């Protein structure tokens, strides 16, 4: 289990608000020593920081860690930082880890810049589902993580939703809600559903029950009609559903206690967030149909900008709304999480430098970190295929990277077959975007130009949402 520093139920430190204990500096410095590794924090006051002296903060709670990006209205980065979660396992107390990581990132912000922060937004992993007591903000059960599957809910979910609807997957938010509803034996009357980023934003603004239409997609919200469908509202658990706003919409001012603790200004506004792969798409600043962003993080998430909306749960394909267009795609469980189980980041860099990306690997794998795949094959029981392993690790890594590239190519081909705009160019986000050999392998396998996005961190996309929200306040 991650070496978390456990808070006693009540401690003599700063006041606990809704069960969230804001930590003293002494306590935070103790956490820093124990478990959450500070990876980097660039805090120099950028010489170009002129203009209206306003900054916008984006925070990304990813799969393996969290990052922040602090930008001005020109999109210039004035500070960025990262915290990794360290070793986690099935016993990890994720809500506490996310809360501590968020507070540490706020602590990592250069104190001289905090008073200039106008707005904050947070992105999190999609379909990461929390059932919350609406009186206290406390969790009523452990979070359902993004890649968890609740197959027992599927017969009921598929009986109420339209055929092949986005929610018709064991990993959908609705399947997780139904699973809790069917298993909870205590009083459900005060329960409310929130997504990971909603709950973390609530820690900053204090207004429960608000989400965004990207996070709400997988519980059944229809971003086109901007409403929950009747087949969902007619369910006995519909009272748990949060209200939905567009990403980057102002919710509330920052709570006074946390504002004072970290030295934010009185006009700092907290805005709705989005999911991590949508934030990565926003960071890439792709604007034309046919252009796409592949997020090579712990997972492989694909977002193709399309004029047509496509969804087909048989293949794990769904469409997020982006203003007047659609982000068609899905998320595979393949990706960096598989690489991290076999190689360190240094090994990845060293071995990748020895790969000739212009020569195809003959090794044929389906790299998964464990059983279960979401897209382009929707099979919760799918087994990883990572053997035979050659003696040479360069050849092994080449085979894995090429096999992941084949999955990416199959995914884009599937979107085209289902009627989406054909991919013409791919921009890359996430930790894997730094791998040049992989980019060239992908370019050869996909048959289209593959670039590194101008900004590869989802936190930058979340900062753009904060900038959008601040504009809405004027």
Ligand X SMILES: Nc1ncnc2c1ncn2[C@@H]1O[C@H](COP(=O)(O)OP(=O)(O)O)[C@@H](O)[C@H]1O
Among 349, 393, 413, 425, binds ligand X (CB under 6 A): 349
Q: How far is the CB of 43 from ligand X (least distance, A)?
A: 20
Among 126, 235, 298, 319, binds ligand X (CB under 6 A): 298
Distance of alpha carbon 355 from the chain centroid = 30
d(CA 101, CA 294): 26
Q: Which is nearer to ligand X, 248 or 369 (CB)?
A: 369
For ligand X, the binding residues in 32-91 under the rule CB under 6 A are: 62-65
By a kind-dependent CB cut-off of 5 to 8 A, residue 301 interacts, out of ligand X, ligand 5RP, none, with: ligand 5RP
Q: How far is the CB of 434 from ligand X (least distance, A)?
A: 5
Q: Which is nearer to ligand X, 241 or 363 (CB)?
A: 363
Catalog residues that contact ligand 5RP under the rule CB under 6 A: 63, 125-126, 146, 275-278, 297-299, 301, 331
Q: How far is the CB of 84 from ligand X (least distance, A)?
A: 8
Beta carbons of 228 and 241 less than 8 angstroms apart? yes
Burial 108-126 (b: 16+ CB within 10 A, else e): bbeeebbebbbbbbbbbbb
d(CA 58, CA 106): 11
Q: Which is nearer to ligand X, 158 or 340 (CB)?
A: 340
Q: How far is the CB of 78 from ligand X (least distance, A)?
A: 21
Closest CA relative to residue 105, chosen from 11, 16, 39: 39
By a kind-dependent CB cut-off of 5 to 8 A, residue 331 interacts, out of ligand X, ligand 5RP, none, with: ligand 5RP
Contact between 369 and ligand X (CB under 6 A)? no
Q: How far is the CB of 67 from ligand 5RP (least distance, A)?
A: 13
What is the number of helices (H) and of strands (E) in the chain?
13, 20
By a kind-dependent CB cut-off of 5 to 8 A, residue 58 interacts, out of ligand 5RP, ligand X, none, with: none
Q: How far is the CB of 124 from ligand 5RP (least distance, A)?
A: 8
Q: Which is nearer to ligand X, 369 or 380 (CB)?
A: 369
Burial 298-318 (b: 16+ CB within 10 A, else e): bbbbbbbbbeebbbbbebbbb
Q: Which helix (H) or strand (E) holds 58?
A: strand 55-61
Backbone conformation region of residue 316, classed left if phi is above 0, alpha if psi is from -120 to 50, else beta: left
Contact between 336 and ligand X (CB under 6 A)? yes
Give long-range contacts, CB 8 A cutoff, 24+ apart: 25-29. 25/107, 28/103, 28/104, 28/107
Contact between 370 and ligand X (CB under 6 A)? no
By a kind-dependent CB cut-off of 5 to 8 A, residue 278 interacts, out of ligand X, ligand 5RP, none, with: ligand 5RP
Distance of alpha carbon 22 from the chain centroid = 24
């Amino acid at each position: 289990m991650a070496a978390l520093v456990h808070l006693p139920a009540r401690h003599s430190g700063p006041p606990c608000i809704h069960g969230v204990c804001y930590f003293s500096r002494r306590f935070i410095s103790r956490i820093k020593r124990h478990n959450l590794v500070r990876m980097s924090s660039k805090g120099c006051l950028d010489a170009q920081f002129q203009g209206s002296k306003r900054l916008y903060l984006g925070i990304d709670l990813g799969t393996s860690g969290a990052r922040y990006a602090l930008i001005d209205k020109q999109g210039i980065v004035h500070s960025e930082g990262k915290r990794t979660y360290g070793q986690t396992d099935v016993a990890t107390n994720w809500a506490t880890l996310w809360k501590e990581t968020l507070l540490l990132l706020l602590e990592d912000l250069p104190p001289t810049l905090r008073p200039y922060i106008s707005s904050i937004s947070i992105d999190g992993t999609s379909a990461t589902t929390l059932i919350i007591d609406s009186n206290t903000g406390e969790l009523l059960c452990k979070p359902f993580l993004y890649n968890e599957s609740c197959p027992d809910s599927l017969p009921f979910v598929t009986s109420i939703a339209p055929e092949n609807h986005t929610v018709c997957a064991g990993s959908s938010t609705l399947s997780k809600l139904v699973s809790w509803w069917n298993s909870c034996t205590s009083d459900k009357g005060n329960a409310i559903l929130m997504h990971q980023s909603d709950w973390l934003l609530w820690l900053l603004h204090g207004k429960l029950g608000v989400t965004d239409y990207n996070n709400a997609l997988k519980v059944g919200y229809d971003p086109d009609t901007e409403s929950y469908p009747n087949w969902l509202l007619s369910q006995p658990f519909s009272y748990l559903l949060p209200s939905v706003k567009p990403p980057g919409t102002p919710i509330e001012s920052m709570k006074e206690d946390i504002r004072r603790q970290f030295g934010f200004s009185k006009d700092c506004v907290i805005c709705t967030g989005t999911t991590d792969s949508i934030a990565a798409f926003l960071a890439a600043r792709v604007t034309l149909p046919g252009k796409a962003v592949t997020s090579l993080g712990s997972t492989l998430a694909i977002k193709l900008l399309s004029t047509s909306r496509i969804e087909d749960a048989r293949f794990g394909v769904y469409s997020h709304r982006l203003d007047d267009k659609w982000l068609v795609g899905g998320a595979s469980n393949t990706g960096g999480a598989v690489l991290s189980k076999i190689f360190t980041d240094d090994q990845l860099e060293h071995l990748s430098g020895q790969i000739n990306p212009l020569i195809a690997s003959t090794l044929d794998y389906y790299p998964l970190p464990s059983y279960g795949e979401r897209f382009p094959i929707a099979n919760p029981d799918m087994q990883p295929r990572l053997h035979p392993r050659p003696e040479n690790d360069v050849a092994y890594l080449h085979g894995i990277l090429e096999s992941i590239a084949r999955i990416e190519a199959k995914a884009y081909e599937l979107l085209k077959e289902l009627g989406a705009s054909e991919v013409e160019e791919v921009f890359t986000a996430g930790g894997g975007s730094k791998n040049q050999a992989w980019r060239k392998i992908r370019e050869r396998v996909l048959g289209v130009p593959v670039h590194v996005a101008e900004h590869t961190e989802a936190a930058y996309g979340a900062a753009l949402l904060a900038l959008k929200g601040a504009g809405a306040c004027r």
